[in-house]
Structure 1
Amino acid sequence: MALVPWPWLAGAAAAGLLSLRLLQQLFFPYFWLDLRFLLKAVRYGLTMEGYRLSGRIRTVLDKFVQAAERQPEKPFLLFEGKVHTYRAVDRRSNRLARLFLQEGRLGRGQTVALLMSNGPDFIHAWFALAKLGCVVAFLNFNVRSRSLLHCVHSCAPKMLVVGADMLETLEEILPSLQEDIRIWVMTKDSSLPRVETILNKLDVLSDDPVPDSLRTASNLKDPYLYIFTSGTTGLPKAAVISHLQSIKGAAGLWAFGATPDDIIYITLPLYHSAASLLGIGGCIELGATCVLRKKFSASQFWIDCKKYNVTVIQYIGELCRYLCKQPVKEEERNHKVRIAVGNGVRTDVWREFLHRFGDIKMCEFYGATEGNICFMNHTGKVGSVGRTNFFYKLFFPFDLIKYDFQKEEPIRNKNGWCERVKKGEPGLLLSKVNSKNPFFGYAGNKRDTEKKLLCGVFKKKDFYFNTGDLLIQDQADFLYFWDRTGDTFRWKGENVATTEVSDVIGMLEFIQEANVYGVSVQGYEGKAGMASIILKPNKFLDVEQLYEHVVTYLPSYARPLFLRVQEIMDITGTFKQQKFQLVGEGFNPSSISDPLYFLDTTKKSYMLLTGELYEKILSGQVKL
């Protein structure tokens, strides 16, 4: 028998490998990217499981304390030119913890609400309270009056901690706050009644750690934070964030390729999960440095990035659009930013952002604050919020189902089951609820928690979390955000609950009924608020009073920018306000016969929306 020559075998093997490579690129082009990302996720999951099995639960706070011991002099926060090292933040939070423990008489498991803007003291207070085993409720400082009171009362706090720049907001609600809520302000003195001050007491306190036993978590599913979300209906709700969710959130930057040497730039508000869980938590997970800004500034963004040698930035869609609208500056390409992590950016803005600001890895993700599912775009596919495959659905089962836009509910067949959409069709995203992917719901709100669950979706007694979002899955298994459902829309990076806005407008004596919804505006992310109103008989529209009312009682992002005055309010067959048709008609005065108005902040009133003004809004001459 003739021997096969080795050169021939080597050549055949090489040809076979090349063929396999070509087939893989042709039919499975994302195989290696998917595999690498999957192995990374599995490795992290196995590490967490190892800690659980050994009985050593390591929370994000535990990791921070360990980082402060391991690298005490490394900068943790850079804020307004001042450096706060890991050790400095740890020690100041120890002092605050001692103050709250001794004079505040706080105990493990009690809730404390935090009303503070971005700054080191937000972090100090948060960590101090967490070191006492308290559940910290982050209050949205844009919310005012009645809505803010609702938020405070809904999480039933024993204490309210208020930042020095939030005293005016506190003064508005102080007379209506329950007497048993102790109030501490981050100042040296105060003339407000019932208020206790913090800064005049800190220097005499020890910065030694409080006992570790106070913060030790017995279960990863124990509550860690309450983060408020408007969800789909009504007033804001306190989403329960467990230690498990915080640990998963903290792994996000690492999963996208960030390292301990990175410098992370956070301009988003810390009361949101993106900045607190992904940003600050991600910085702790890596042992990296964070540049924290009190408020986003489009004009200073790239200047800051160059000044602080920023390598990782966080964004929302609106932030990217604002940056693209800025005049060209030298710093916008002369920077070290290599990764951008966020969500909600439009495809056209995405492309313009990369073209203008350089070769930055855009890491788009999808996730609801209270949700039990997250998608991460690890391939850089423009416009996509993530990618799924067999293995992902094995660990995080989800489905996209058919949705009735008129009735605003899932479509069920004759047998009562929901039906999956085909690839390329928009479907309502549902995520299966099980022991590995639990849904923790809302604090003190059993009814709204139950409303977010769908039962009997594909079989009896199955439970799914209803995200309220419509997504599309293409033929290559990439996922794209399509729209939101329910009585909510997104504007300026915030969720707006239409029923809350309707209730506020309905407080006016000349309004009989208000129907609030979101409308698309050319060149803007999300949807702008619009209110269709019915006036009471023999009453007239007082546009100046309406303006003063919405400015007083609603945060800027929730104020309706457009008004439509109707004689009759259309309703659905189930006696709900009809929004579907109104949303489609928009705010074009040339196609709508009803009187239309526009919120004009310069004139502090609602002004008649003319065709000329409409064109200026679309062209960008009038800013929203």
Structure 2
Amino acid sequence: MIFLRFLQKLLFPYFWDDFWYLLKVVRYGFQLQMYRARGELVTVLDKFLRNAKKQPEKPFIIYEGAVYTYQDVDKRSSRVAHAFLNHSTLKKGDTVALLMSNEPDFIHVWFGLAKLGCVVAFLNSNIRSNSLLHCIHSCQPRALIVGADLLGTIEEILPNLPEDISIWGMKDSVPKGVISLKEKLTMASDKPVPRSRHVTANLKSPCLYIFTSGTTGLPKAAVITQLQALKGSAGLWAFGCVANDIIYITLPLYHSSGSLLGIGGCIELGATCVLKRKFSASQFWNDCKKYNVTVFQYIGELCRYLCKQPKREGEKDHQVRLAVGNGVRRDVWREFLERFGNIKMCELYGATEGNICFMNHTGKIGSVGRTNFIYKLFFPFDLIKYDFQKDEPIRNEQGWCSHVKKGEPGLLISRVNAKNPFFGYAGNKKHTEKKLLCDVFKKGDVYFNTGDIMFEDQNFLYFWDRVGDTFRWKGENVATTEVAEVIGKLDFIQETNVYGVTVPEYEGKAGMASVILKPNKPLDLEKAYEQVVTYLPAYACPRFLRIQEKMEMTGTFKLQKFQLVEEGFSPLKISDPLYFMDSLKKSYVPLTKELYDQIMNGEIKL
């Protein structure tokens, strides 16, 4: 027996981790099938209402010290529903756009509209003017609800909004053309709303529109069905969270991580959520200690921001046991654990609009998820060869795509079928069609194109880069994350954003790094040169540097690259300091107009 255990650990070290995780997945799927067999289609809202009945006095949301129980949120959301029943013509199936910051009323309004059977479109609270107008037009809402702090944003675009949209503000005094929802709520009933108003006949019907972050252009409204919302809400439970956990959410609720995985996850568990208006690295651990947080959500660079904070005594003195999210680099992962203690990092992968999800339930550093042949039976996916020059999958003479070898990076694609559908985006059908690959391995097959390059090693998946961020130079593929990591190790660099820029007469794109310097730290151009040539392949060394005071970011801490790529490296267009990599001087040198002209005319070879 002991020998068999030793053999199992040696040959199949993750056998039991995989077994228990897959058992959970199968169990959850079986539960959904049982509901369907009984003709009882249960949604996230239904689960919330059950919690409100079962544990009315249990804290659901803690926000800035105030406690909102499950019953409180139920009653407040019913007030929202009754306010619209009494003062609007909204009906089941109508779309309502929601522009609010992280606050309890975001959830009250969301659930109130859900009780009426409305589809709620979460608008990014950071976008303005034309981008905001684009989002509103793309989801075609009947009404728009705006938080008190964002009424100024709407006032700017009021004349350009469609006439058939009613605008509601969460404030007593609102601009002309806006209805005060706050005033209507004071007179609204908090009685339960009949379930008949929101009961769904099909779990594949839309319940939300969540906008993609728009790192490479204008945001797109991803269709989120009742089924997708349910699957998203099961994430925390699948990682081992329980009803007694206190979950800290600092991510924006307009994104799927904050709303579905976070709020939906708390509902699935019947747990308590500590909601933060905005992530603060300096207040993070104080909040965790103050509210006895046991689980927190992360995304993008959040963990790195925490590691950049000045060290304090008692940093491991907290009750956090799990962190759930995605996008943490290996070096940051290790540093985070070493500094803040034995916290299990539960990395996951899943696009907002995607039909595939991976979860690293083992805690393996660097991996975004685990897979095996059983998982592939339920969720078929492949990694295929990709042409970075043409920005498209490589096809052979017969027109078929081909698999990459084990360990090689390839484009992640996921099979689209009845069990794993892709619901696409609201509005322009071209956006939906662009995300699909047809006739991949055989005639008639359809795959969802994730746009992510990954590689697989011993049944673990690792993120390599985004297709849009990866660029080709000197016949080689350059991973921007790798370059940014190397530059980021310089002691005078605060932030790094790497991308490719077009240079006349050259195939591919030359590397460019936009950086922010640390306060009171001078730029050392020779040291920067030495760092990149020492730790990067020659083709990956950025030919250009740009020094910025601040960088535009999405609400999920992703660096915006679209505008930077468009601006290129011209000193005539860019007022920021620019530098060029000079191999003779073994340093980066100021990119003057004369030097720029020489590069453009081909007098200087890159």
Cα deviation, residue 396, structure 1? 0.2
Task: State which of 565, 571, 582 in structure 1 corresponds to 2:510.
Answer: 582
Task: State which of 383, 388, 391 in structure 2 corresponds to 1:405.
Answer: 388
| One-letter amino acid of the counterpart of residue 270, structure 2 | G
SS of 1:600's equivalent? coil
Residue 232 of structure 1 contacts residue 486 of structure 1 at CA under 8 Å; is this kept in 2? no
**1:523 alignment partner in structure 2:** 488
Once the two structures are superposed, the pairs formed by residues 260-339 of structure 1 within 5 Å of their partners are: 260-339=243-322
Further displaced range: 52-61 or 584-593: 584-593
| One-letter amino acid of the counterpart of residue 22, structure 1 | F
Task: Measure the CA separation in 1 of the matches of 2:159 and 2:390.
Answer: 42
Q: Is 1:481 the counterpart of 2:481 in the alignment?
A: no
Task: Measure the CA separation in 2 of the matches of 1:18 and 1:124.
Answer: 55
Task: State which of 347, 367, 374 in structure 2 corresponds to 1:391.
Answer: 374
Residue 381 of structure 2 contacts residue 414 of structure 2 at CA under 8 Å; is this kept in 1? yes
**1:432 alignment partner in structure 2:** 415
Compared with structure 1, are the counterparts of its residues 520 and 260 closer, same or farther at alpha carbon in structure 2 (3 Å cutoff)?
Answer: same
**1:555 alignment partner in structure 2:** none
**1:607 alignment partner in structure 2:** 576
Task: Measure the CA separation in 2 of the matches of 1:527 and 1:406.
Answer: 24
Task: Measure the CA separation in 1 of the matches of 2:321 and 2:440.
Answer: 42
| One-letter amino acid of the counterpart of residue 50, structure 2 | Q
Cα deviation, residue 240, structure 1? 0.1
Residue 598 of structure 1 contacts residue 606 of structure 1 at CA under 8 Å; is this kept in 2? no
Q: Is 1:254 the counterpart of 2:237 in the alignment?
A: yes
| One-letter amino acid of the counterpart of residue 447, structure 2 | Y
Q: Is 1:18 the counterpart of 2:2 in the alignment?
A: yes
**2:147 alignment partner in structure 1:** 163
Once the two structures are superposed, the pairs formed by residues 185-584 of structure 1 within 5 Å of their partners are: 185-190=169-174, 192-230=175-213, 234-474=217-457, 476-486=458-468, 520=484, 522-523=487-488, 528=497, 569=504, 580-583=508-511
Superimposed CA distance per residue, residues 81-129 of structure 1 (whole angstroms, 9 cap, x where no aligned partner): 0000000010000001111122122100000000000000000010011
Compared with structure 1, are the counterparts of its residues 526 and 582 closer, same or farther at alpha carbon in structure 2 (3 Å cutoff)?
Answer: farther
Task: State which of 102, 107, 113 in structure 1 corresponds to 2:97.
Answer: 113
Compared with structure 1, are the counterparts of its residues 334 and 396 closer, same or farther at alpha carbon in structure 2 (3 Å cutoff)?
Answer: same
Compared with structure 1, are the counterparts of its residues 87 and 181 closer, same or farther at alpha carbon in structure 2 (3 Å cutoff)?
Answer: same
Cα deviation, residue 529, structure 1? 6.5
Identity of aligned residues (%): 65
CA RMSD of aligned residues (A): 2.6
Cα deviation, residue 172, structure 1? 1.6
Task: State which of 177, 184, 187 in structure 1 corresponds to 2:161.
Answer: 177
Residue 232 of structure 1 contacts residue 487 of structure 1 at CA under 8 Å; is this kept in 2? no
Residue 544 of structure 2 contacts residue 579 of structure 2 at CA under 8 Å; is this kept in 1? no
TM-score normalised by structure 1 residue count: 0.80
Cα deviation, residue 598, structure 1? 3.0
Task: Measure the CA separation in 1 of the matches of 2:98 and 2:37.
Answer: 34
The unaligned stretches of length 5 or more in structure 2 are: 472-479, 516-524, 534-540, 552-573, 582-586, 590-606
Residue 231 of structure 1 contacts residue 488 of structure 1 at CA under 8 Å; is this kept in 2? no
Cα deviation, residue 234, structure 1? 3.7
Q: Is 1:60 the counterpart of 2:9 in the alignment?
A: no
Compared with structure 1, are the counterparts of its residues 465 and 66 closer, same or farther at alpha carbon in structure 2 (3 Å cutoff)?
Answer: same
Compared with structure 1, are the counterparts of its residues 570 and 135 closer, same or farther at alpha carbon in structure 2 (3 Å cutoff)?
Answer: farther
Residue 510 of structure 2 contacts residue 542 of structure 2 at CA under 8 Å; is this kept in 1? no
SS of 2:510's equivalent? helix
| One-letter amino acid of the counterpart of residue 575, structure 2 | Y
Superimposed CA distance per residue, residues 305-335 of structure 1 (whole angstroms, 9 cap, x where no aligned partner): 0000000000013110000011122452111
**1:72 alignment partner in structure 2:** 56
Q: How many residues are treated as equivalent by the alignment? A: 527
SS of 2:511's equivalent? helix
Compared with structure 1, are the counterparts of its residues 364 and 601 closer, same or farther at alpha carbon in structure 2 (3 Å cutoff)?
Answer: closer
Cα deviation, residue 204, structure 1? 1.8
Task: Measure the CA separation in 2 of the matches of 1:246 and 1:479.
Answer: 24
SS of 2:188's equivalent? coil
Cα deviation, residue 206, structure 1? 1.0
Task: Measure the CA separation in 1 of the matches of 2:56 and 2:325.
Answer: 29
Compared with structure 1, are the counterparts of its residues 205 and 615 closer, same or farther at alpha carbon in structure 2 (3 Å cutoff)?
Answer: farther
SS of 1:127's equivalent? helix
Q: Is 1:97 the counterpart of 2:81 in the alignment?
A: yes
Residue 246 of structure 2 contacts residue 293 of structure 2 at CA under 8 Å; is this kept in 1? yes
Superimposed CA distance per residue, residues 180-206 of structure 1 (whole angstroms, 9 cap, x where no aligned partner): 11000000122x221000112212221
SS of 2:305's equivalent? helix
Cα deviation, residue 303, structure 1? 0.1
Compared with structure 1, are the counterparts of its residues 462 and 64 closer, same or farther at alpha carbon in structure 2 (3 Å cutoff)?
Answer: same
Compared with structure 1, are the counterparts of its residues 594 and 361 closer, same or farther at alpha carbon in structure 2 (3 Å cutoff)?
Answer: closer
Task: Measure the CA separation in 2 of the matches of 1:583 and 1:156.
Answer: 40
| One-letter amino acid of the counterpart of residue 520, structure 1 | A
Residue 433 of structure 1 contacts residue 465 of structure 1 at CA under 8 Å; is this kept in 2? yes
Task: Measure the CA separation in 1 of the matches of 2:26 and 2:262.
Answer: 22
SS of 1:352's equivalent? helix
SS of 1:39's equivalent? helix
| One-letter amino acid of the counterpart of residue 488, structure 2 | G
| One-letter amino acid of the counterpart of residue 607, structure 1 | D
SS of 1:483's equivalent? strand
Cα deviation, residue 20, structure 1? 2.4
Task: Measure the CA separation in 2 of the matches of 1:195 and 1:58.
Answer: 35
Further displaced range: 232-241 or 335-344: 232-241
Task: State which of 12, 17, 35 in structure 2 corresponds to 1:33.
Answer: 17
SS of 2:418's equivalent? coil
Compared with structure 1, are the counterparts of its residues 586 and 310 closer, same or farther at alpha carbon in structure 2 (3 Å cutoff)?
Answer: closer
Superimposed CA distance per residue, residues 231-290 of structure 1 (whole angstroms, 9 cap, x where no aligned partner): 685421100000100000000000000000000000000011001000000000000000
Task: Measure the CA separation in 2 of the matches of 1:400 and 1:332.
Answer: 40
Compared with structure 1, are the counterparts of its residues 187 and 55 closer, same or farther at alpha carbon in structure 2 (3 Å cutoff)?
Answer: same
| One-letter amino acid of the counterpart of residue 497, structure 2 | A
**2:547 alignment partner in structure 1:** 598
**2:137 alignment partner in structure 1:** 153
Cα deviation, residue 405, structure 1? 1.3
| One-letter amino acid of the counterpart of residue 193, structure 2 | V
Residue 111 of structure 1 contacts residue 135 of structure 1 at CA under 8 Å; is this kept in 2? yes
| One-letter amino acid of the counterpart of residue 599, structure 1 | Q
| One-letter amino acid of the counterpart of residue 437, structure 1 | N
Cα deviation, residue 171, structure 1? 1.4
The unaligned stretches of length 5 or more in structure 1 are: 1-16, 490-516, 533-565, 573-579, 617-624
Cα deviation, residue 23, structure 1? 2.2
